Structure 1
Amino acid sequence: MNVLVCGARGFLGAAICERLVQAGHTVVKGVREPHAFAQEVAVDFSRDLTVDAWLPKLAGIDAVVNAVGILVERSGQRFADIHEQAPIALFTACSAAGVRRVVQVSALGVEQGGSPYFDSKLSADRFLATQPIEWQICRPSLVYGAKGKSASFFRTLASLPVCAVAAQGRQMLQPIHIDDLAQALLHLLDAATPARQCVELVGATRVAYRDMLSSYRRQMGFPRALTVSVPGWLISCAATLLDPIPGAILTRDTWKMLRAGNVGDAAQTASLLARPPKGVDDFMTPAEAPSMREQALAQWRSGLFRGVLALVWIWTALVSLFVYPLRDSLALLAQVQLTGPVAAAALYGAGLLDFTFGVATLLLPCRRLWLAQAALIAFYTVVIGIAMPEFVTHPFGPLLKNLPILAILFLLIAEEKKS
């Protein structure tokens, strides 16, 4: 069977394509920018809004899977176009072109409405249900997968030593593994599967949001974390502030969807799979858990290091220039043979350099910056250690505290990605 998969490079679409190929089907990948010599066709749901735009793409196609979707609107990507107008044009063209079966990947909870995301998805679902073709509408819950953006975000949250949850974290979810979703979609394309049905695709277990994060944490090999509840009103304020920011995961719509929960009946999923779907505690295999752990840590570790470094540099500059008594600063510099105008120039020059390093740490992080900071700290440590040995044996260890800062810089240098 020749199957057009729209959104073939996305998280869901890529898994669906892989499963279809394994089953022996010929897959035509619908992508915005097709590669030369690949079995791909150009589809753009922000522009392909008419039947005429779709008809040429459906030549020789037996079935279509629409796995295109956005969680938040961005410049040039609107729910009304991508979830509603383009799919409606596609479904109409499928009817005209004689496409046998269409599978629409919708979302669990769309019938609740109340958000542009849900409303636009539901509008396309309802239109497809009126078409004289073999349609299937699948409504998956939250989808887990190693490459999924939302799953990666939740694993990152789960890896934090202090786990912040919204409003006690009691929101009920029933996530499904991407492998189960792809397998279920394969069966929905099968001619032997009854057509014209709306199917909920969910995992085996209903779980509270906080317990889902705890499960991910256990599977990645972390000990139990301290859990802190963030008041719902504070999350609402943060969602309102982040709403206009492109790519933000927390928005008013996503917060509304999380509060509503996301659960369904696993019987339909089990029927399609001919077995129970995976539960949350079985999402990560022992083989992939270490890499999931490292990826989760990598999402926030360098940001924490940079934030701490920036604070140290900027605070040191402000204290040196405006807080610490000038007389005492010049007395310290005299111990390294700097006096008079030279000492004043060294003091203010060092303060400005520290401040510059702090700002650059936040805005211009790079390997050369880390090396320059390490060199300066090493220089300060050696000079002060020789000229003022009392700082080496000081009970508060002011000089020895340079060592953990050098360790942080070493890690940042080691983790620097090739540009």
Structure 2
Amino acid sequence: MKVLVTGATGAIGSALVRALRAAHCEVVAASRAPADPAGLPVDLAAVPSRQWWAQQLQGVQVVVNAAGIIRESAGQSFDAVHTRGPQELFHGCVAAGVRHVIQISALGADEGAASAFHRSKKAADDLLRGLPVASTIVQPSLVYGPGVASAALFDSLATLPWLMLPRGGASAVQPVRLEDVVQGLVKLVTQPAAGQRTLAFVGPEPLTLREYLGQLRERQGISTRQRIFSLPDGLALWGARLLEWWPRTPMTREAVGMLLRGNAASATGFAQLLGHAPQPPGRGQGPGEARAHRHAAMLALWLPPMRLAVALLWIWTGLVSLGLYPEHASLALLAGVGLTGVLAWWSLYVAAVLDLALGVAVFFTRGQARRWVWLAQLATMLGYTAILSLRAPEWWLHPFGPLSKNLPFALLIGLLWAFEPPLRHNRR
């Protein structure tokens, strides 16, 4: 059986591609940057035409649309990726004679949809239901598994001893394991299909968000109870608006709005498809696995604000040297290390611009590129420290520790360098 999977480098798509190949299906992995040379490069945000899709789908029996975004960005809108792109794909499926189309939508993409995320999914779902092709619209709840942005977020939140949540974490959720989602999709692909149907892919039972976080804490081996305080809805939405300035954060106003609405459904149809009840995502682990899981979640939570803090410190240092601190006082400090006249002036402003650039660069690089930024920061700090140690060693004995503080700061930058992920060329 030949199957085309869009979004093949995403968390669900990549896991599905592996499972289908293990089930001896011929898989065409379609994504913006395919992970293997045999993949099909395509960007739904560019809305390829139905005619183009009809040509690519020759000989394909089943199509699974797993492409999606959790937040909009430049060049990627909900309208393009969730609505117009899939609609053209579905029309192409009809023209090419595809036997079965599986659309991975979202729980909540229904008549009560309020968020742009849900409305964009629903628009594609509605068109598919009206086309002359067998189709299954899969509506997952919160998916829990490796590579899933929301799962990583909730894992991180579960590590905190205190937390403020909208409505005190009383919103209904029904998290489903990624393994169960993939197993269900493989069964849909390999079984005969007819007509149109919609299936909720959900966990065994609804939980409050507070209970879900408690399960995740247990999974991480945390025995203490998490204190959760209620956050007014308006304040939660305002906070999410601020967080949207941070690139790639899954905590957006859309996400908060969907959480406030609730996210639960009957698991009966999904259990019938699987042949067994779906398993809860917070299953226990051995002590070693739980500890490793907890450490990974804590790093995911604290690395971004640590990067931000280091970047802002370099930026602040540059701004202070550029004029917030009196120039004559800065030049007097430089005179103490033997720099005077024009040389001191140039040293002051070159160093200030360098500090400012090293801070700003953190926001515009990532992966291997940002590793070089951390190394440049370490080299610059080492240079400053060496010069002061040679020309003004008394700064080591200063009660405010202007030089001794460089030691833990250097270790922090080294930690950020060590945990910097490699550049990701393969994205869905």
Map residues 8-407 of structure 1 onto 2, 5 A cutoff. 8-33=8-33, 37-38=37-38, 40-48=39-47, 50-111=49-110, 112-160=112-160, 162-191=162-191, 196-222=196-222, 224=224, 227=228, 229-240=230-241, 247-282=248-283, 287=289, 290=292, 293-294=295-296, 296-298=298-300, 300-301=302-303, 303-304=305-306, 307=309, 310-311=312-313, 314=316, 359-360=356-357, 362-364=359-361, 365-377=373-385, 380=388, 387=394, 391=397, 403-407=407-411
Q: Note the C-alpha offset of 1:232.
A: 2.4
Q: Is the 8 A contact 2:243 2:251 kept in 1?
A: yes
- Provide the rounded CA distance (Å) in 2 between the counterparts of 1:397 and 1:248: 35
Relative to structure 1, the CA distance from residue 291 to residue 22 in structure 2 (aligned partners, 3 Å threshold; closer, same or farther) is same
Tell me what 2:426 maps to. none
SS of 1:46 mapped into structure 2? helix
Question: What whole-Å deviation, never above 9, does each CA across 1:149-195 have from its counterpart, x for those lacking one?
Answer: 22223333334565443342222211111110010111222435775
SS of 2:89 mapped into structure 1? helix
- Provide the rounded CA distance (Å) in 2 between the counterparts of 1:8 and 1:172: 30
- Provide the rounded CA distance (Å) in 2 between the counterparts of 1:313 and 1:44: 36
Scaled by the length of structure 1, the TM-score of the pair is 0.78
Q: Percent identity?
A: 30
Relative to structure 1, the CA distance from residue 35 to residue 207 in structure 2 (aligned partners, 3 Å threshold; closer, same or farther) is closer
Question: What whole-Å deviation, never above 9, does each CA across 1:371-397 have from its counterpart, x for those lacking one?
Answer: 332453466568777x589x48x7x88
Relative to structure 1, the CA distance from residue 226 to residue 371 in structure 2 (aligned partners, 3 Å threshold; closer, same or farther) is farther
Deviates more, 1:213-222 or 1:1-10: 213-222
Q: Which has the larger radius of gyration?
A: 1
Deviates more, 1:353-362 or 1:22-31: 353-362
SS of 1:271 mapped into structure 2? helix
Q: Is the 8 A contact 1:377 1:406 kept in 2?
A: no
Q: Is the 8 A contact 1:177 1:203 kept in 2?
A: yes
Q: Is the 8 A contact 2:314 2:358 kept in 1?
A: no
| Aligned length in residues | 409
| Uncovered stretches (5+) of structure 2, i.e. residues with no partner | 362-372, 424-428
- Provide the rounded CA distance (Å) in 2 between the counterparts of 1:106 and 1:114: 15
AA at the equivalent of 1:109: G
- Provide the rounded CA distance (Å) in 2 between the counterparts of 1:313 and 1:34: 37
AA at the equivalent of 2:360: L
CA RMSD of aligned residues (A): 4.2
Q: Is the 8 A contact 1:100 1:133 kept in 2?
A: yes
AA at the equivalent of 1:116: A
Deviates more, 1:349-358 or 1:112-121: 349-358
AA at the equivalent of 2:87: I
SS of 1:282 mapped into structure 2? coil
Question: What whole-Å deviation, never above 9, does each CA across 1:285-342 have from its counterpart, x for those lacking one?
Answer: 76486156336415533642661685499479969x9889x99x98x999x898xx96
Scaled by the length of structure 2, the TM-score of the pair is 0.77
Q: Note the C-alpha offset of 1:262.
A: 0.8
- Provide the rounded CA distance (Å) in 1 between the counterparts of 2:27 and 2:390: 64
- Provide the rounded CA distance (Å) in 1 between the counterparts of 2:402 and 2:83: 62
Q: Note the C-alpha offset of 1:412.
A: 4.4
Question: What whole-Å deviation, never above 9, does each CA across 1:189-209 have from its counterpart, x for those lacking one?
Answer: 243577532111101242322
- Provide the rounded CA distance (Å) in 1 between the counterparts of 2:55 and 2:359: 50
| Uncovered stretches (5+) of structure 1, i.e. residues with no partner | none
SS of 1:136 mapped into structure 2? strand
Q: Is the 8 A contact 2:169 2:230 kept in 1?
A: yes
Relative to structure 1, the CA distance from residue 379 to residue 211 in structure 2 (aligned partners, 3 Å threshold; closer, same or farther) is farther
- Provide the rounded CA distance (Å) in 1 between the counterparts of 2:85 and 2:334: 70
Tell me what 2:369 maps to. none
SS of 1:270 mapped into structure 2? helix
Deviates more, 1:18-27 or 1:242-251: 242-251
SS of 1:89 mapped into structure 2? helix
- Which of structures 1 and 2 has the larger relative contact order (alpha carbons within 8 angstroms, sep 6+)? 2
AA at the equivalent of 1:370: L
Relative to structure 1, the CA distance from residue 219 to residue 293 in structure 2 (aligned partners, 3 Å threshold; closer, same or farther) is farther
- Provide the rounded CA distance (Å) in 1 between the counterparts of 2:403 and 2:148: 45
- Provide the rounded CA distance (Å) in 2 between the counterparts of 1:117 and 1:222: 34
Relative to structure 1, the CA distance from residue 357 to residue 87 in structure 2 (aligned partners, 3 Å threshold; closer, same or farther) is closer
Q: Is the 8 A contact 1:370 1:413 kept in 2?
A: no
Tell me what 1:411 maps to. 415
SS of 2:146 mapped into structure 1? coil
